[in-house]
Amino acid sequence: MKSLLKCIVITLLFLSCNNEKKDTAVMEEKKPMNILFIAVDDLRPELNFYGAHHIQSPNLDKLADKSLVFNRAYCNIPVCGASRASLLTGMRPTRKRFINYSTRVDVEVPFATSLPKLLKQNGYTTISNGKNYHHNSDDSLAWDYKWFPEGNIRNYQLEKNIIENGRANLAMGGASAFENAEVDDTAYFDGEIAQKGIEDLRRLKNNKEPFFLALGFMKPHLPFNAPKKYWDLYDSNQIELPESYVQPASTPKKAFHNYGELRNYGNIPKKGTLPEDLAKELIHGYYACVSYVDAQIGLVLDELERTGLADNTIIVLWGDHGWNLGEHQLWCKHVTFETALRTPLVVKIPGKTKGEKSNSIIEYIDIYPTLCELLGLEIPETVEGKSLVPIINGQANSKDWAVCKFKDAVTLIKGDLFYTEWTDDAGVAYERMLFDHTSDPLELDNLAEKIEHQEIVVELSKELRQKWGNDFLK
């Protein structure tokens, strides 16, 4: 009898241990996916996987091969601070909200729950490295840890260059718009940001909680500074100015400006068209910066693989807006041409994405609800975007439009039509432009004032007001 009882106890203990192991395995299996959130400042969708083969970006290409690439992603506003605030809250810009680079989420929408704050509330370790919001102190309660390289946000240039230019910490004071220096990658901020990201991944490997690691890289933003080895990948003599290097008379003059951000630099003329050699040097510098930041992102992605975290980590790589590299004789992002609105967006989901490409029109406010649905989290009522999960699952997207704005200009993108109105505080239009990308992808022929297009202009104007958001004018 004692022997039988002993056998029963041993059996029960064995089954109990077995069940505990099974329970542990189930818990590990059900652990929420991590998120590696990579922002790249001023990055155009001018990369190999978007059909442009003149920029060397092997690491981004490799990531795209395992991701879903969105060919028609659009920022909701082409200026860094406002674009980031809009994306991270899932809220549209309005006439009075998310206007310029100095936007702060905690000031303008303190009632909103940002994406990192929602994740933190749901057990995620949230880390911000580099430039994710424009102000590093913004939305401070959303982050467990925040880190930024030492120095002013504009202080990209080497100490030698700063001293030679009157110790200018900012673009003002004579600093150059580009720099080609024989230095290591960590001489600039992005090299430091990559190394910090690598350190975090090594530490997070053994974390019991899932993580949201946001890495905000700062190139290819002005000034176009990168180590010499990246400049050596390109030859200014082989660079051509864009085909759209013109400002057509049919386009409203409101669409053009003096691109003051670039004019602040000491080696840039204060007005007028840039000399051709200088224009090509700027393009050369931009290309070098893209290759430089590509190398830094590659180091982080390699570490993600080495740590074994890649199998349970969603990667979202995005540029906060586009940038004009001479298109329409502009050097900026602060316009509503497609070159400033269209952005790179790549989403990698382990076991799901395999290099697919989507031509669906999507807005940056759609990223927030997409991650919520992928993680099984409730979407806050303030979020205005639409989840992209149906597209990820291979289904057709029922939405074929986006709305973007900059200052008075508001653009409706619908199919191949780009319709922009400049409106006053009452929402009354005082200038218009319309481009049809099926026949005019470079946006050189404004159709808005042509008699034969007045019917579609009326329709698009009405639809713009239906879709720009209920509180747009408030």
Identify the DSSP state of 408.
T
Catalytic residue chosen out of the listed positions 134, 135, 321, 334: 134
Identify the DSSP state of 280.
H
Q: Is 80 noted as a catalytic residue in this protein?
A: yes
Q: 457 — phi, psi (to 5°)?
A: -65, -45
**Taking the alpha carbons of 44, 45, 46, 48 in that order, is the dihedral positive or negative?**
positive
Note whether 41 and 332 are within 8 A (CB).
no
Q: Is 7 noted as a catalytic residue in this protein?
A: no
Both structure tokens of 296: 């830094």
Q: How far apart are CA 443 and CA 424, in angstroms?
A: 24
Side chain identity at residue 358, one-letter code:
S
Catalytic residue chosen out of the listed positions 7, 17, 75, 80: 80
Q: How far apart are CA 170 and CA 152, in angstroms?
A: 8
SS (HEC) of 195-237: HHHHHHHHHHCCCCCCEEEEEEECCCCCCEEEEHHHHCCCCHH
Both structure tokens of 22: 């099974």
Rg over alpha carbons for the chain, rounded to the nearest Å, is 24
For residue 402, the SS3 value is: strand
Query: CB neighbours of 145 closer than 8 A, spacing ≥ 6?
Result: 125, 126, 127, 128
Q: How far apart are CA 278 and CA 32, in angstroms?
A: 50
> How would you classify the pairing of strands 211-217 and 125-130?
parallel
Residues tagged active-site: 80, 134
